[in-house]
Amino acid sequence: MSFKSLDELRFEIVSLPSGNEEAAHAAAQRQDTLTKPQGSLGRLEELAIWLARWQGRPLPKLDRIKIVVFAGSHGVTAQGVSAFPAEVTAQMVGNFAAGGAAINQLARTVGAQLEVIPLQVETPTGDFTRTVAMSDAEFLHAVTQGYSAVTNDLDLISLGEMGIGNTTTAAALATALFGGSATQWVGRGTGVDDAGLMRKAVAIENGLARHGDALSDPLRIAAALGGRELAAMLGAALAARKLGIPLLLDGFVTTAAVAPLFKVNPDSLAHAMPGHVSAEAGHRRLLDTLGLNPLLDLGMRLGEGSGAAVAINVLRSAVACHNGMASFAEAGISEK
């Protein structure tokens, strides 16, 4: 799939396949026969049924899991919005390749394949306080790169990112898409002080003022204020839905990246589950706005797909119980 225009992308977002309700129903019926009081495993039961619905099989599996981390550079870092210099993005891509980052350890722990995709990290996007972050063509190219990263042989895909300045970009998207003031969406990101927090808010307000003509269109917002790695995550989320692959989201940046899909089509994230709620200030508010309920709350704010990777363990627990438990009849146990 190669997207040639925003309208073509918009058509794909509103033309989405539904989940497999027969598989979900069969999974729910199975849950009611297992050797436990009905509902006693709480969200683990819901997760097994969610996986069944989007994998299209009553007994879901997690044999092939991929974590994809997209990396991009942001021109808005020129406004002093990060505690780290912009070159750290490329340096961290090298750290991923060397196996030295948190996500390398977590991916190995949960048995997931890790793929890191740098998106022109040597060339920052435009500083959205002065120009568009990306032209329509640049945005669509990044969306296509993300879409192409998803293959149809996966049982689950998890998304993450790396990009100095991208919590400012994420907060800008959230403000433009859902309203409120920039101060309600910005957080400390890499650890900025109060002055840095104010610079982030001012940069966002300046960006919104400059790109006011784009604010009625979620996809134009994503191009004008976003980043390449965020656009790629949008494309990957769309591909996962088209291919019937459950999607695990990471933190604030990942959630903001897919939020334009929701604004175009509120059903577009039904296949997505937030692995965790991060400590970044706007994340819980954004999840609530999207109607998404996170699996974990561990105070994490690293990015890289790290929180979602930890949540894969929860999904494995759900599948193990769903597939491996005996029914009352099989165990010879009297039902209520």
Q: What is the pLDDT of residues 26-84, one digit of tens each?
A: 999 999 999 999 999 999 999 999 999 999 999 999 999 999 999 999 999 999 999 99
pLDDT digits (tens, 9 = 90+) for 322-336: 999 999 999 998 887
88, 139, 160, 20 alpha-carbon torsion, rounded to 10°: 180
User: Which positions are catalytic?
Assistant: 304
pLDDT digits (tens, 9 = 90+) for 134-160: 999 999 999 999 999 999 999 999 999
Look at residue 233 in the predicted model and tell me its pLDDT: 99
C-alpha span between 284 and 18 (Å, rounded): 27
Whether the pTM exceeds 0.75: the reply is yes
Look at residue 98 in the predicted model and tell me its pLDDT: 97
Look at residue 191 in the predicted model and tell me its pLDDT: 87
C-alpha span between 67 and 177 (Å, rounded): 27
Under a CB-based contact definition with an 8 Å cutoff, are residues 265 and 175 in contact? Answer: no
Look at residue 1 in the predicted model and tell me its pLDDT: 81
